[in-house]
């Protein structure tokens, strides 16, 4: 009894607060990840830029700027009742699809690391529509899958098909870039959301089989670019390509391994400083953590992710609203698989894919998207009792 009254007390107390109804643990964990990420981005770029006679804080400043924009977006997402979000979802989804189309238009979209994934904006900024597509797909699918006829507690097959359609168009466009890493993450989110929606198990099994055979056919038919196949080969045999991705993966592993238990100390990593690992402020940022912070530091990052995901699961469990739960589930799968893909690649457990590490890697679009994802989690949490 006293517990309930205490909680009610707390809610009334925070009613006027700016962060009313937020999960403080989730916020603290994300805050810590952002803080560590900021240090690591700085550590990854400081010596490199200083040596080239450039501003050593160039990346640091831009990274903080990205976080601030992301924080505003996240806050914006939390203050709107997520149930209202449904109304905006078609717009968001449409914008993502439009962005993915623009990316493919020569002259507007541009290619980096073998994927046509970016739109250049004035001021040296770039935007990656695929990141926003993740948010659009998750909310769009959650919307459709949470629609219920009154006599059923699970989505109809028609709804499931509709929700797959929501995912299919952006995925198809991303295949054309091609950005296999993002497709894998979206696929993981799609399957997880359908499974948690309560839909028939046949859907889940069917989708998993489709994913496996689809991947196989894609490689065989050459839909997946030679560049992707090469990355996959070097994953199987890291010595196959000593200069290209095999080199990068080996360097990444050596860099992480050389950190040992305690690391070489922040800002003091010869491997990082020598830039033996490419993209170390973005896709390979975990190597900086591995080298400079050692097992203690990089292991702590893993624990932070684990806490974040467990809190998100707890929110998904506690909400009574299927839409909120599915949004949570989608965001969890997104964060978890993206994190696993990124760190797994760095540690040589996963093939090389260019996905950023959530909350840590440098990169505007990814930062905005992951912070919106965080905002969605807080939004659902804030309305647990609403």
Partner 1 sequence: MNSKSRLSLLVVQILIVSLVVALFGRLFFLQVASGAKYQDAALSIQSRDVITPAIRGIIVDGSGVALASNKVGLAITIDRIVVDELSDKGVALMQRLANLLQLEYADIYQNTRLCGELPAGQKAGCWQGSRYQPIPITKSADPNTAIQIVERADLFPGVTAMPVAIRSYPSFFDVNAAHLLGYVGPLTENDLLSTNEKQYYRSESIGKSGLEIQYDSYLRGVPGIRTVIVDRKESITRESQNKASIDGDHLVTSLDVRLQAATEKALKDAVLRGRANGYTSDSGAAVVMDVKTGRILAMASYPTYDPNSWEKGLTVQQAKDLFSEKKSVPALNRATQGLFAPASTFKVISVVAADKAGYNLNATYDCPSQVEVGTRTFRNFDSKNQGRMNINTAIAVSCDTIWYQIAFDEWLRDGGLKAKSNRNDYFFKAAEAFKLTDRVGIDLPAESASRIADREYKKSWYEQNKDFYCNYKERAKKDQQSAFLIQLAAENCVDGDKVRAGDAVNFSIGQGDTVMTPLKLTQTYAAIANGGTIWQALIGKAIVKTDGTVVESFTPKKLGTLDVKPSTIKFLQKGLREVVVRGTAAGVFSGFPVEISGKTGTGEVFGRNPDGSAKDDTSWFASYAPSNNPRYAVVMMIGQGGFGASTSGVGVRAIYSSLFGVSGNRLVPDAALFPEGQPPSQLPKISLVIKKKGEVE
Residues 86-125 as x/- pattern, contact with partner 1 by CB under 8 A: ----------------------------------------
| Closest CB 195 distance from partner 1, rounded Å | 4
Sheet holding 126-127, edge to edge: 109-112, 115-120, 126-127
| Closest CB 275 distance from partner 1, rounded Å | 5
Please tell me whether residue 348 binds partner 1 under the rule CB under 8 A: yes
Within 310-329, which residues bind partner 1 (CB under 8 A)? 310, 313, 316-317, 320, 322, 325, 329
Helices 82-104 and 157-176, packing angle to 10 deg: 40
Distance CA 27, CA 135 (A): 19
Residue for token pair 């006293």: 2
Label residues 79-92 b or e (16+ Cβ within 10 Å = b): eeebeebeeebeeb
Please tell me whether residue 16 binds partner 1 under the rule CB under 8 A: no
Residue for token pair 């493919």: 104
| Closest CB 219 distance from partner 1, rounded Å | 24
Choose between 129 and 155: whose C-beta lies nearer to partner 1: 155
Strands, E, within the chain: which ranges?
109-112, 115-120, 126-127
Please tell me whether residue 333 binds partner 1 under the rule CB under 8 A: yes
Within 202-261, which residues bind partner 1 (CB under 8 A)? 204, 251, 253-261
Choose among 246, 342, 260: nearest CA to 299. Answer: 260
Q: For the beta carbon of residue 293, count every other beta carbon within 10 angstroms.
A: 24
User: Using an 8 Å Cβ cutoff, are 184 and 324 in contact?
Assistant: no
| Closest CB 330 distance from partner 1, rounded Å | 11
For residue 315, what are its two tokens? 């929110």
Distance CA 142, CA 120 (A): 31
Taking only Cα atoms into account, the Rg of the chain, rounded to an integer number of angstroms, comes to 21
User: Using an 8 Å Cβ cutoff, are 358 and 182 in contact?
Assistant: no
Distance CA 83, CA 333 (A): 21
| Closest CB 295 distance from partner 1, rounded Å | 4
| Closest CB 256 distance from partner 1, rounded Å | 5
| Closest CB 101 distance from partner 1, rounded Å | 32
Within 142-171, which residues bind partner 1 (CB under 8 A)? 153-154
Q: Which region among 17-25, 94-102, 192-200, 224-232 touches partner 1 (by CB under 8 A)?
A: 192-200
Number of H helices, E strands in the chain: 14, 3
Choose between 228 and 280: whose C-beta lies nearer to partner 1: 280
Within 253-312, which residues bind partner 1 (CB under 8 A)? 253-261, 270-271, 273-276, 290, 294-295, 298-299, 302, 305-306, 309-310
Please tell me whether residue 49 binds partner 1 under the rule CB under 8 A: no
Enumerate binding residues for partner 1 (CB under 8 A).
47, 51, 153-154, 192, 195-198, 201, 204, 251, 253-261, 270-271, 273-276, 290, 294-295, 298-299, 302, 305-306, 309-310, 313, 316-317, 320, 322, 325, 329, 332-333, 336, 340, 343-344, 347-349
């Amino acid at each position: 009894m006293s517990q309930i009254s205490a909680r009610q007390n707390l809610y009334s107390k925070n009613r006027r607060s700016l962060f009313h109804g937020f999960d403080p643990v989730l916020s603290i964990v994300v805050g810590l990840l952002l803080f560590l990420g900021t240090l690591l981005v700085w550590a990854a770029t400081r010596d490199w830029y200083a040596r080239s006679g450039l501003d050593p804080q160039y990346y640091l400043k831009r990274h903080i700027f990205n976080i601030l924009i992301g924080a505003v977006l996240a806050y914006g997402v939390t203050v709107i009742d997520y149930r209202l979000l449904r109304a905006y979802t078609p717009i968001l989804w449409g914008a993502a699809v439009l962005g993915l189309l623009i990316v493919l238009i020569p002259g507007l979209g541009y290619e980096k690391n073998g994927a046509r994934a970016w739109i250049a904006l004035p001021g040296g900024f770039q935007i990656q529509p695929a990141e926003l597509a993740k948010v659009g797909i998750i909310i769009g699918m959650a919307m459709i899958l949470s629609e219920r006829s009154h006599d059923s507690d699970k989505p109809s097959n028609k709804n499931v098909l509709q929700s797959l359609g929501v995912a299919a168009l952006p995925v198809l466009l991303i295949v054309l870039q091609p950005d296999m890493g993002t497709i894998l993450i979206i696929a993981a989110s799609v399957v997880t959301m359908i499974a948690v929606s309560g839909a028939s198990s046949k859907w889940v099994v069917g989708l998993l089989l489709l994913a496996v055979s689809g991947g196989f056919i894609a490689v065989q038919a050459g839909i997946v670019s030679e560049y992707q196949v090469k990355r996959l080969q070097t994953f199987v045999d890291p010595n196959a390509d000593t200069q290209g991705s095999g080199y990068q993966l080996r360097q990444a592993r050596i860099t992480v391994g050389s950190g040992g238990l305690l690391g070489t100390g922040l800002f003091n990593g010869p491997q990082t400083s020598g830039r033996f690992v490419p993209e170390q402020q973005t896709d390979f940022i975990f190597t900086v953590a591995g080298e400079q912070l050692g097992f203690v530091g990089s292991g702590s990052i893993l624990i932070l992710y684990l806490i974040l995901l467990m809190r998100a699961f707890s929110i998904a469990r506690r909400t009574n609203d299927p839409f909120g739960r599915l949004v949570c589930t989608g965001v969890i799968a997104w964060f978890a698989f993206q994190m696993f893909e990124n760190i797994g690649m760095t540690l040589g457990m996963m093939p090389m894919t260019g996905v950023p590490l959530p909350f840590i890697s440098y990169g505007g679009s990814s930062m905005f998207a992951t912070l919106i994802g965080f905002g969605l989690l807080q939004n659902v949490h804030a309305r647990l009792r609403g």
